[in-house]
Structure 1
């Protein structure tokens, strides 16, 4: 049975993707900061599920995630989904807290690389895949999204380099498109997001298509319920 590690799995895209993977028969190791919310997700799922509340910025917690996956048989898919905004609501760069920016860099960029490094032996054994959740803010200049977008731009770049250095793995950086999530509501609380799809309506079907495909490493974007390779 294939094994996936999914970070940030207590809500939004992470929760919806975990549910979909479980329905396809994957064994799961799930992470989030909130123990209660993460436990509620696990209660919804059938099959082998290990929940480990904690902070991906903590090296010890990352080691626990990898150890749990090893206990289930290895790692076939590592989903780096956990993210923070750096400011809630988002603010112009002139007002961006440097402490908030540093936290966003740590959680969104440094911690995912740390988790990949810890998981690499198991990923190499399985010839597995790394799925890094990015954003259009990584490549477009949107007012107030500068801090968050910079962290995702860095994530995109090291994803591309990792793909060159680990050619036996598939390394995907994916912009999931517009979604109605608690994170977006926190980022832009005055915006009407009722027209945005829920993660399970568009992003998750597209990600499942990518995961189940023979698509090579690269940066992808969700378009409708499918993915396409990103080009500027």
Structure 2
């Protein structure tokens, strides 16, 4: 069975994506900072008759990143690394003239430095896979100028560039940076708590577009979920 590491898997898109992979028979290594919700997710996904290892911790911790890759090795290897765990830098979001520099550092550390750290840790296993791939969760804030989204957007723009360079340096892998578009998640509510998100798509509704990456295996690059969904039609 193919094996995936999914960070930020206890809720939101991470949980929805892990559920879809489990339904397809993938073995999973799941990460989240909160052990309780992560254990609940793992228990639910084991109902799909797949192997699931839950490793709680913070992706900014090098030891934790090593533990995630060690768990994948225990399952037999690694075919897909999903860097989904993210930090906003400020909750709620604020203008750049109010953004704490420590908050910006946190966003960069989680969204960029930790992602690269996990990629580097996982590369030996990914290179051994016949279909190794890295999926980095991007954002439209990486490409558009939205008031108060500067710190978070800057971190995701850096992740996009990291993804592009990794694709050049590792031509044997697929490296996808994907903007999921608007979603109704806890992250968005923390970012803009006064906004009415009832009309936003659920994470589950976005997952089919991402599954196209596994089915079609397009070239490495930056994609958006709406574009992937359109290509499926």
Scaled to the shorter chain, the TM-score interval is over 0.9
Q: How far off is 1:206 after superposition?
A: 0.7
- 1:61 paired with 2:64, answer yes
Name the CA distance, whole Å, in 2 between partners of 1:87 and 1:75.
33
Matches within 5 A, 1:30-179: 30-46=30-46, 47-126=50-129, 127-179=131-183
What are structure 1's unaligned runs of at least 5 residues? none
Q: Deviations over 1:39-82 (max 9, x none)?
A: 11011112100000000000000000000000101110000000
- TM-score normalised according to structure 1 size: 0.96
For structure 2, list consecutive stretches of 5 or more residues without a partner in the other structure: none
Q: Which runs of 4+ in 1 moved over 4 A?
A: none
Q: 1:194 is matched with which residue: 198, 206, 219?
A: 198
Q: Alpha-carbon deviation of 1:149? A: 0.1
Q: Report the TM-score when normalising by structure 2.
A: 0.95
Query: 1:183 aligns to what?
Result: 187
Q: Is the 8 A contact 1:220 1:227 kept in 2?
A: no
Report if aligned partners of 1:135, 1:175 keep a CA contact under 8 Å in 2.
yes
Query: Cα gap change, 1:53/1:117 in structure 2, threshold over 3 Å: closer, same or farther?
Result: same
Q: How many residues align?
A: 227
Measured after TM superposition, the shift of residue 224 of structure 1 is 7.3
| Counterpart for residue 223 of structure 1 | 226
Q: 1:101 to 1:227 in 2, by over 3 A?
A: farther
Q: Once the two structures are superposed, what CA deviation does each residue of 1:12-46 show, in whole Å capped at 9, x if it has no partner?
A: 00010001100000000000000001011011112
Task: Measure how far apart 1:227 and its partner are.
Answer: 6.3
- How far residue 184 of structure 1 moved from its aligned partner, in angstroms, is 0.3
1:61-105: CA deviation from partner (whole Å, max 9, x where unpaired): 000000000010111000000001000000000000111110110
2:54, 2:227 → 1: CA distance? 31
Greater fraction helix: 2
CA contact (8 A) 1:207 1:227 kept: no
Corresponding residue number in structure 1 for 2:4: 4
Shift in Å at residue 188 of structure 1? 0.4
Alpha-carbon distance, 1:212 to partner: 2.1
